[in-house]
Structure 1
Amino acid sequence: MQTYAWAKVLPMICPVNNTAMSLLLQYGWNTAFENNYANHKNNGLDVGRVLTINGYLYTLIGEAGIITAELSGTLLNGKESGDLPKVGDWVVFKAYEEQGYVIEVLPRLNELSRKMPGKGMDKQVIAANVDAALLLQGLDRDFNLMRIQRYLYQVANNGIGAIVVLNKKDLVENPQYYQREVASLGYQCPVVLTSALDNEGVAELASQHLEAGKTYALLGTSGAGKSTLMNALWGGILQKEGAVSMANSKGKHTTTYRSLVLIPNGCMVIDSPGMREFGITIATEEMEGTFHPQIAALAAHCKFGDCTHHQEPGCAVMAAMEEGTLPEVVYQSYLKLYREQQRYGTHAADRKRVERQFGRITRQAKDFRQKRKY
């Protein structure tokens, strides 16, 4: 059960002398959102940011403070799942006493997504309007370099920065080794060592990498220490910390739904349930971009411009891997992601084809009704 107590937390992060607009500014309000809200404001509608979603109930922070809202029927029935409000979204709503009704989602600056868990190929939007992702891994059997690369790859594709946090550094003899391993992937992002349970490295993380007014999404598997890190960043108990199974070192979910929390240093962190799957949603033809920095640099020297780096002659990527200048884990990860994206790309193309067919059938039916006048 989620233990964020908004009624108790809000006074601690929103002093009573704050104006309504400064409250929105604390939560990331800017001119881009203001411009998109202008017409709605003239129509007497309010604006707020989504803090939590629990079933059909949305907790919003607006100019007047916290309000619970539901989706309007038009929004609920007229939008695809990915277009409905997510944690971090700014939404326009109509307030009726203590209840609100969400009318529209303001255009997003970006969205953090993954492939829906399981065998399906649909995309799941996790959060919206995120400045950077905190990619958390524990060093007690949870460390997996290929998983980190997958997270970095997908996050970069979403147009979002990344900060890798290697937690439980006190449980390994040489934590700097793991720090170097992550750096070897070639992504230009901070790699921070912490022991959240002992508060080691947390102050450095907050002061050097988490900026006031910016939004960070905390991602990681269950048991990596997300709840402990959230408590350490907050400086108190935000939620109960979960146990880790001694049999398989897998953690138990303590966060049951996503929540946006304003941290005392002025930044916002979106906490999420542990994710054992983080499927990528990138078209195959995009794979050699800046999201695979080492592969992209080497690909410029391949004999063929459309080289897939599988078995083509004159492939600079394969040559570098055989020479040892390209880490094998990077190459193996590339092959795995390439195969995964071929499947995802095929599904996306099929879905677009079906949507085009459905649209054509709908237009034909409309024309037929007009001709028959019914």
Structure 2
Amino acid sequence: MSTLPSYGWNEHFIQSFNAHYTQDLEAARVISIQGFKHILITETGVAEAQLAGALLHSREQEAYPKVGDWVLVKRYEEEGIIIDTLPRINELSRKAPGTNSARQVLAVNIDAALIVQGLDRDFNPMRLQRYLHQIVQCGIRPIVVLNKSDLVHDPETYRQQVLKLGYHCPVVLTSALYPTQQQDWTSQYLLPQHTYILLGSSGVGKSTLLNGLLGYQRMEEGATSTANHKGRHTTTTRQLVQLPNGSLLIDAPGMRELGITEEAGSTGIPHPLIEQLAIRCRFADCSHQHEPGCAVLEAMRQGDLPELVYRSYSKLLREQYHFQASVADKRRNERQFGKMAKQVAKHRKDRKY
């Protein structure tokens, strides 16, 4: 019996595969990437593969196979060669760390993202809104998991703060130390053959959560630094694992930086509260920053829109504009370089050297 359906092989990918199918190719899913080696799940189990040279040199970095991708593989004795990737349902991305304006794809083909924050020191609504924004504009459903609820006096007040952000997503209060609590929410939100990704800063308890969901200690649990109260990385690479209930979970390393990008098909900063109010703005292209007759600014002045939500929205908007400008500059430079290269080639041809 094929193992592929249990790893998310569905009608979308079957149709794409049939369109590319040849007898010597098989479908597989990337479950981990270790340097140049790709670990795949195939019809017969786990296998290793490398990228075909033609694929490696014909694409941008973000188009290379990522964890969660379905790929076309050609077998050569013990090793496979990845020939191509099947069209993705979605991509979870961020701005590449540092000053680079590049877009970095973290994982693909995800049904929902579990955003974990710890209620001991990590809880930060503005950072959470950043995660929510990026995940929503990537076309992925967010689920907020507030971990370490046993360490605060009134955990419900934290849940209410998340609900006030206005994203209308599930918000789970839990403690990774109590397995019965994990069963309560995972049975509701983690479905068999669906793919989820575990996101959050280091030290929020992601590894402890994953160990609890698996039922055994697969990940080493990291301590929190006493010097800066920041967690230490225990996950260093993204890896897709199958949970006992049949759902699939990608465990991602802790991220200290989640830069905002602009995703294809998205317009502005998607936020349910802002979008509802924007309909009443005087100008259709209102930026909600200074225009007269702005319903968003008026709602904030009246207290109907939380100031925290608006301040975070404005900051994300500025970051997105900066990312757009950086990408536009990069493309302009590439066009200018291409034009110059053609001129040089023509000049050499005309001069015959």
1:354 to 321, 325, 333: 333
The aligned counterpart of 2:290 is 311
1:132 to 99, 107, 112: 112
Q: Deviations over 1:13-62 (max 9, x none)?
A: xxxxxx12xx0000000122122222543241121100101111110001
The aligned counterpart of 1:15 is none
- SS across alignment from 2:162: helix
Quick one: distance in 1 between partners of 2:74 and 2:37? 15
- SS across alignment from 1:330: helix
- The 8 Å contact of residues 283 and 341 in structure 1, kept in 2 or not, is answered as no
Give the drift of 1:248. 2.4
Give the drift of 1:282. 2.1
The aligned counterpart of 1:340 is 319
The aligned counterpart of 1:66 is 46
- The 8 Å contact of residues 192 and 201 in structure 1, kept in 2 or not, is answered as no
Give the drift of 1:369. 8.9
1:149 to 98, 104, 129: 129
The aligned counterpart of 1:52 is 32
Give the counterpart letter for 1:268 in structure 2: L
Give the drift of 1:200. 4.9
The aligned counterpart of 2:267 is 286
Q: Deviations over 1:105-153 (max 9, x none)?
A: 1111111000111122111000010011001111111000011111111
Quick one: distance in 2 between partners of 1:372 and 1:73? 35
Q: Deviations over 1:173-218 (max 9, x none)?
A: 1111111111111112100011012225211221000111110011
Quick one: distance in 2 between partners of 1:93 and 1:357? 38
Q: Deviations over 1:73-115 (max 9, x none)?
A: 1111111100001000011111222211111111111110001
Quick one: distance in 2 between partners of 1:127 and 1:359? 31
Quick one: distance in 2 between partners of 1:373 and 1:216? 59
Give the counterpart letter for 1:111 in structure 2: E
> Unaligned stretches of 5+ in structure 2?
none
Give the drift of 1:332. 0.5
> Unaligned stretches of 5+ in structure 1?
1-18
Query: What's the RMSD between the two structures over aligned residues?
Result: 2.2
Aligned length: 352
Give the drift of 1:294. 0.9
The aligned counterpart of 1:8 is none
The aligned counterpart of 1:231 is 211
- The 8 Å contact of residues 138 and 263 in structure 2, kept in 1 or not, is answered as no
- The 8 Å contact of residues 137 and 263 in structure 2, kept in 1 or not, is answered as no
The aligned counterpart of 2:94 is 114
Give the drift of 1:246. 2.6
State the TM-score, normalized to the length of structure 1: 0.89
Instruction: Select between 274-283 and 169-178 the one with higher mean Cα deviation.
Output: 274-283
State the TM-score, normalized to the length of structure 2: 0.94
- The 8 Å contact of residues 283 and 344 in structure 1, kept in 2 or not, is answered as no
